[in-house]
Amino acid sequence: MALIHAIHILAHGDKTEASHIAEDIQRHQRLLVGGGAWSGTGVYGWYPEQLPDYWRDKPQVLFEIDDQEIVPIRTWIPGQGWRNYFRIPGAIGEYVSIRVLALMNLD
């Protein structure tokens, strides 16, 4: 078991929606599994050093999770090269547990 730090983009980058869900995320230390997944159902997270430039100013949560709970994924981003991220498996409408370290870019 190893704990890793990760970033999840809140509400697909919508700051208004992100501000509404941030309190729940902080209070309950969880993320909701939504639809629209491209590599399987679950919550997606980026390794902080792998976060693509276009997501850097979006609302996000920095969190910690056990590396045994994730499914690694690798993708090519034009102009930025290969990037590694992961999925925390879960069913749509359910929550996955995380340990929140910080909420960022909410305003």
Give the chain as a 3 state SS string: CCEEEEEEEHHHHCHHHHHHHHHHHHHHCEEECCCCCCCCCEEEEECHHHCCHHHCCCCEEEEEEEHHHCEEEEEEECCCEEEEEEEEECCCCCEEECEEEEEECCC
Selection from 69, 63, 60, 48 nearest residue 21 by Cα: 60
If you compute the radius of gyration of the chain from its CA atoms, what whole number of angstroms results? 13
pLDDT score for 45: 94
Number of domains into which the chain is organized: 1
Quote the longest CA-to-CA distance of the chain: 38
Range of the domain at 78: 3-104
Query: pLDDT digit string (tens) for 61-105?
Result: 999 999 999 999 998 989 889 999 999 999 999 999 999 999 999
Reported pTM: 0.90
Q: What is the mean pLDDT of the chain?
A: 92
Quote the pLDDT of residue 36: 65
